[in-house]
Structure 1
């Protein structure tokens, strides 16, 4: 049973999802924010947390599992209880429990569960489709500062003159100077505007060119035939345990028995209690291991269980 999948589904619709016997996953809505240093804009989201004290069964999770898997409520509650027992046993052994798209659980020195939330998914449906983005600094008052600098370098002084028949020439000259300075300022601002426009246009053209290159399809007229290799990799951190033996010879015997039945059995070393562990197989993902575990329990050993352990 993919417990984290059901919890993740419910977190989109509810602010509290309780796992009976383990604790509750809570969500708290936070507003959009801007990072002052990186100038990154983040949309509104739900922040995840975990409360170990909330363990009473409110029926939400069991009802949802019962509905999805088309099983009775009591059966769904029993599956949750078995999963919680397995999780707690791993936590006691010092293992880290990973809930995909939710976070990680680990037991601290005081015996309390510590939760490290995941930030890969935003459970706030109002922000669906939104993602963070960065924006460059906005420089203001550039034009004003430029005009003030020009006025400081080319001051205009007006002195009283005696009225004569040539006064209109003096006024005309003054007007020409004023218009010339105004035209110079306008031309300077216009040139800056044109340069900014050209730069934006060039950046847009480069982006379009990059997109075309990335979308280009190259066709080879005489392609070489594809070579298909089937390699079974016996690795991974998810192991289906067949048993643990104090005498190593007994573990070797168990491996031979399982391999005779078609399983890819092997020994993965001794655990913290000195018992030699034998597994049916190891897998890269929890989903693959869980699927094989159901098959093993149904066809061979009802006591088989899933171990999450990173091997050296």
Structure 2
């Protein structure tokens, strides 16, 4: 009876570690992990490798007994069937030097007369990997650093940047609208006279001794900060860092309230001092300070200081520079010591001196009047 010996051997090798075919050789299995064939880009799951040893040819009875169980033949008939199949294989090798066993692998008879076995990977002999098949792996394309940087720059130039610009512009427009509305509310409470008339500002004239003309400035072109502060107050709040802030309505109202409180406190202090020294009339308050006589009411201010020693230092510096008339001319309403380049009895002379100082020494100088 002819049997399919290669099929029976394949089934036995799934559960057994080795199998001897009498007078031919023995198959030995070895567990292997998952492997990748880089040439074919195939990932092979875990399984068993099969090797062939021609020296394992002595009959151990296991193969014949397995044939008895599977086919119902007697033990002697199973041995005869094995011998017939082995004889057929050997004749095939002698004729073609090649033998292929379905599901197991192929044999090649080399020049030295040795059998070289190569396993077929179509069958996984590991029962623990049952159902797993080969996976075709797609190679990963590595992107170098230069390409990644270039790709990142391209993404930054894309439309999201336009969205961010549009969003920022919308926010800025909204803030400007809120500030404008607040300023409008401020001017609406300044009185009907200011709303119905334009502001009149006397121009600076250096060529004549009289100022007869007025420059009319429309109300909508007026800086709201300049309408709240005079030059002396602007210098005070510039020293305190307030003018670096946005001119919003809340800040202006806060500064106005602070000014009024300081003016009240200063008036009470000077009035008390004047009563104690009996140097003034009850209806007037005159501040005693380091200022010039009332005949020189116009002062070109270089700066204001909270500490008097700092004011004296600036006076010395100005005198060394050539401004011999530099001196401290009292305090401002907020209590700061004022340092002046000089004092003048006529406004036109003070304006001329101010223009000269702005061009030659200090562009931030301003004029104050007692």
> TM-score band (shorter)?
0.3 to 0.5
Larger radius of gyration between Structure 1 and Structure 2? 2
- More helix per residue: 2
TM-score between both structures, scaled by the size of structure 2? 0.38
TM-score between both structures, scaled by the size of structure 1? 0.44
